[in-house]
Amino acid sequence: MENWKRAVIAGSAGAAALLLLKRKRPAAVLVGGVGLAVLASEYPQQLEKIREELPAYVRAGTRFLELTMKIGQKIEELAEQRAARAFEELGEY
């Protein structure tokens, strides 16, 4: 890879991160897209492979999100039960 391409990729990644920290999401997406476009022009076969595998990544992410939501609901239920028991104990005195 040529040095100027490395500089564009690194610069766009840094600029996108800085823009995200400044809460300027549209600009961050635009600048990050430039870096990704340069990277994709250098490695088109790898990008095509990622595009083909993307649905599997999304399914796995969705399953992980569902699992974390179930865990969160269970923790919420347990916290409510514990709070109800503590309130009942206070009422006994």
> What is the per-residue burial (b if ≥16 Cβ within 10 Å, else e) of 20-56?
eeeeeeeebeebbebbeebbeeeeeeeeeeeeeeeee
Reported as a single tens digit per residue, the pLDDT across 13-32 is 999 999 999 999 999 999 99
Residues 26 and 2 in one domain: yes
Closest C-alpha among 11, 12, 29 to residue 20? 29
Please provide the distance, in angstroms rounded to a whole number, between the alpha carbons at the two ends of the chain. 75
Residues 37 and 65 in one domain: no
Residues 36 and 56 in one domain: no
Closest C-alpha among 47, 27, 45 to residue 37? 47
Reported as a single tens digit per residue, the pLDDT across 30-44 is 999 999 999 999 888
State how many domains the chain has.
2
Segments forming the whole domain that contains residue 19: 1-42
Residues 60 and 32 in one domain: no
Reported as a single tens digit per residue, the pLDDT across 37-86 is 999 998 889 888 988 999 999 999 999 999 999 999 999 999 999 988 88
Q: What is the pTM of this model?
A: 0.53
